[in-house]
Chain A
Amino acid sequence: MNTQEEFSKSEKFWMNNKLYQLWRFIVLNIKIYTVAVQSKWK
């Protein structure tokens, strides 16, 4: 039933790299806020 799909070592590294994740945190916040706030004007 299961496939062999798994995350690569490189993907896992970036998932836990604090500096890169801080960057992603900022990007994700901006992205989510921007799209969510558009709804306010509907």
Chain B
Amino acid sequence: MAKIVVIGAGFAGHTTALYLGSKLGRQHEVTVISNRDVFGYVPSWVWVGVGHMKPEKTIFKLKPIYDRKHIKFVHAAAKEIHPDAGDQYVLGEEVGTGKEVRLDYDYLVIAPGPLLNFAGTPGLGPEGGFTHSICSLPHAVKTRDAYLALCERMKKGEKVKIVIGTGHPAATCQGAAFEYIVNVHKDLVKKGLRDKADILWLSNEPAVGDFGVNGVQIKRNGHVMRSDEFIRSVFNDHGIRYQVQTGVTKVEEGKIHWQNYEGEEGTTDFDFSMLIPQFKGQPFKYIGRDGSDISSKLVNPAGFVLVDGKYGLPYPDLAQTPEAWPAHYNNPTYPNVFAAGIGFAPPGPISKPFTNKNNLLIAPAPPRTGMVSGVIGRVVAMNIADLIETGKMTHSERMTEMVAACIASMGDNLWDGNAVTIVMRPVVPDRKKYQNEYGRDLFVSHLEMGLSGAWMKFMLHYTFIWKFKGLFGWKLIPE
């Protein structure tokens, strides 16, 4: 009987666990260790952050699902990983009791989600800083409370400055911040307060609409349309100012410090700000059999797990090398250690990085959205099942092959809501397969705004919660 341990129960970890439970749960031991005992449907936290959805509608308890799927659940925070052959185990600390937990494994999946590195930008974040975040449910709730308090000030006639975007020169997840800014706009319009707010998009992207994936390009009426034109139209239409090519370096009360591509240093005042922090890997200790630190064999300096990608290529070479992106997501030194979701180390950025004259690298990190994380989770689970059953992996999917769909809602009303629907294939451009300057399938890639997107967003919320609860037909719903 094989023992499989999955660290984390987010989009990647939970998907891995569901597939493993379904394929192997009855004959083998599948264990999930997570410091949270609930699954959180992250895409809807945008609505929590503007007070349009109750937090409890975005979460559900994991244990009852795992009991049904023959998966063992350990509510503990993983601390140490001991990957050397012969004595492979994870050490954790049980939530509530602090008791040490030891989980032996034959296969390990590291999918704990990101460490929100607020410390990377002095003054950033809701805990001890001056800005807000929607990257966790408690943060989204805190953001909602601050936003609603701001609305009360506006109702009294006060004019305010709102800044939304990225809070670090190497931050990712611009899509979530974009969704939040347009939801704030729409909510203020509905409340009759829009004229009281000056809203600014502040981001590290090379261009508006880049989203850390080098933008999205589509073919419409015979010509290629780019997401920068499209998103600029959205911002202009909504009266949202924008400033890109900017890395936030420090935040003080009511003041954001930044540097741009030209190396200029400046400040932006704010009354309310939601800035996405830099993401890092979770700070697990990787310990060898002799007690030594073997982190360098398993993770990069940012704490992301090294997998079967080609690392170290300069950006121009990486952009022309689709096979540099990992296919199986297992570590070359410890092939039975897999990483899924945000936990794996990408071989480099997707968008063109830029270093300004002050030597500040302004480069959006590659986003690993829910769909990407889910697909990787499934690939990892199916390959572990393959290895146990046949000894050979048969599944692979690089980000240069993956399709991603993203619905950025702009108001949640089913009658007059709106959303931008983005479909891209592949997520990471493959200039060998798609012989155009963008490296994308311009027939499949899609960019559209309209009420139908708002319906899609609602449908996805309920469909995916159904899927993640492992209810009837869950496997038919794509990741």
Contact = CB atoms under 8 A, between A and B. Distances in A.
B479 A15 contact: no
Nearest to A14: B450
A5 B230 CA distance: 8
Interface string A6-42: 1100000011101011101100110111011111101
Given A22-B452, A28-B456, A40-B478, A7 B237 contact: yes
Interface of A: 1-7, 14-16, 18, 20-22, 24-25, 28-29, 31-33, 35-40, 42
20 contacts: A1-B243, A3-B232, A6-B237, A7-B237, A15-B450, A16-B450, A18-B451, A25-B452, A25-B456, A28-B448, A28-B456, A29-B459, A31-B423, A32-B423, A33-B478, A35-B405, A36-B403, A39-B375, A39-B402, A39-B479
B401 interface: yes
Interface in B418-446: 418, 421, 423, 425, 444, 446
Contacts of A18: 451
What's the dominant secondary structure at chain A's contact region? helix
A37 B455 contact: no
A36 B397 contact: no
A13 to B, nearest CB: 11
Given A36-B371, A36-B405, A39-B403, A5 B229 contact: yes
Interface residues of B, number: 39
B241 A2 contact: yes
B242 interface: yes
B233 A35 contact: no
Contacts of A3: 232, 236
B68 interface: no
B416 interface: yes
Interface in B228-262: 229, 232-237, 241-243
B121 interface: no
Interface in B362-406: 371, 375, 378-379, 395-397, 401-403, 405
Contact of B241 (A1, A4, A42): A1
Given A31-B423, A39-B478, A42-B395, A15 B449 contact: yes
